[in-house]
Structure 1
Amino acid sequence: MKKIFFSFFATCLFFLQSNAQFGNLVNKIVKKDSTGKVELNKNISSTLGNGLSNEDIVSGLKEALRVGTDSSSKKLGKTNGYFADAAVKILMPAEAVKAEKTLRNLGMGSLVDKAILSMNRAAEDAASGVGNIFWNSIKQMSIADGVTILRGSDTAATSYLKKTTTPELISKFRPVIDSSLAKFDATKYWSDVFSAYNKFSAKKVNTDLTAYVTERALSGLFLNIGLQEQKIRKDPAAQVTGILKKVFGN
């Protein structure tokens, strides 16, 4: 009888101790605000990053974006970087599709093809020189953004970069596109195409070529950066530096 009693007593003590330890763990994970509402304890955010420091997280994300932007700008900045890639190739804008079809039907397909090629050549020329623009923006990422981005979608860092840099990128990218369009005679071809089209149409086409090519060029660039981020997050072979392995390797 004594053995049963002591066994029961020991079990109770173990149960109470276990509950106390579990309660302490719960108290570390959750806390109550002034209204009594239970919420996650923000003090354990570092444990949700596999024990990484905030500095490591931010450094890893910056490195991922540096690698992604560098790789993408080099890839798209080469001849046929845009033109030969169906995912980012710049075609006639929607409002000019009818004009394109009409001109091709009138035997002016060669003129349209030159206009399309020149737009893509302009984008390729501009993409090769944006590395510093992106890097200057990447360096501004704060510690407060790091954990949220790390635990976000597999393109969360790219989305952050796009959201925080697009206005500045447009202002810096547009003059390069404008210069490149002139360099590759895109403006001339565009003018030739729609001067010819407007002779046959009552509805004239008047679009801002520089703005259109800038928007499409940046869209293609961010698409490629996002693809690079996905690789870095998931593929060990893409984690080419120590900090990338440390942050994304697990």
Structure 2
Amino acid sequence: MNSLSYLNPFDDFPDPQHALTEPNGLLAVGGCLAPKQLLQAYYCGIFPWFNDDDPILWWSPDPRAVFTPTLTPASRSLAKFLKKQDWTYTVNSAFEQVIKGCASPRKTQDGTWITNEIEQAYINLHHLGKAHSVEVWHLGELIGGLYGIAVGNVFCGESMFHTQTNASKGAFTALNHWLYNHQFTLIDAQLMNSHLVSLGAKAITRNEFIHHLQQNRNAVMPQSMWQQGEIPLEL
């Protein structure tokens, strides 16, 4: 039965299969953004998404947008473009700058869902070694990046940004290389949209996603892969 649950801080999450069909994937209201509850959410295939004047809303949509890590960029034109750029790619070198970049409103938007509360919650996870960023640099300036949560060998992407054309796609290409080379099995991109389709996302059912997550969320990955450093990008 599909129903909306109301959570107190640190309550266990309901089964994602109980999420509403309209709006797609809304599962629960309330709880808190403390690291313990946030990590439990991702472990169960659930993520927070809400506006500044909303209560905390938790989601598990069906279908789910995902990628399989690969060394091949989304298109030949993107590979050709990235080859021409004098860009440097890094991991976990400017997490707070990246999340602030992602929080900046887009030209087509009046606001952002990445509130100060969300920002601080993921910065806390980063300090615990659970949230990670990929950065794109040009002449020492941060021009793009993305961040997300590692759950076993599944990477749950949260948001990306760019200040130069295709810099967010460059960050995603670098992430793909990094995760592929470290035997990650899936990148979760949450809700499908045209931008994700252009990057090669595919839609799978919530059941398929949860099953894959359950099979891989306890994989022990080397913490050394998240040490601050450069990501080599060979195209």
Check whether TM > 0.5. no
Larger Rg: 1
Give me the TM-score of the superposition, normalised by structure 1. 0.26
Higher relative contact order (CA closer than 8 Å, sequence separation 6+): 1
More strand by share: 2
Give me the TM-score of the superposition, normalised by structure 2. 0.27
More helix by share: 1
